[in-house]
Structure 1
Amino acid sequence: MCGRLSLPRARVHFLALALERHHGPLLRRNPFVEAGLSAEIFDEQAVLRALMDLLYDEPTHRALADRRADYLRALALLPSAADAVRAALRRPQS
């Protein structure tokens, strides 16, 4: 192994195979998903490489922290849910 564990540890999310059909389109080009790492579960080498990077690789930690920060900045630019609903209610109905 690579010596001591480098923190923080990230949660691992698995998407059930049956849900891929329904949730897949929501996850493609999704900034939330892009803020993390992903690997095809049946690609053992890719999964192990991603896990090792998450656990021990400082450049990966920095890159993921930058992606999370980018994601949070993008979220901050969005209108509040209340503002979005108000704007939708003001739109003329066709």
Structure 2
Amino acid sequence: MNSVEDLCALISSRITWSRGEESQSLDADTPLLEMGLIDSLAIMEIVAALDKEAGVSLPETEIVAANFRTPGALWATLGNLTAKGRE
């Protein structure tokens, strides 16, 4: 996972769009929870995809609504975890 755009693509692929609705492109500031784009199941799918596809294991303590409000918020969380891992 090299950029917030990569993360947006991963999240978008885990969203169940309404029947007849075309998938939308997401950006770093898309309000995922506020718009009802993700729910608890989608969050767990995103967490699993991050682990499988990006090799990023998100600790249970970081799986909170605040970290999934926007792709940018999740990107910041991932950056903080990566920085802590380097210390």
TM-score normalised per structure 1: 0.30
Higher helix proportion, which one? 1
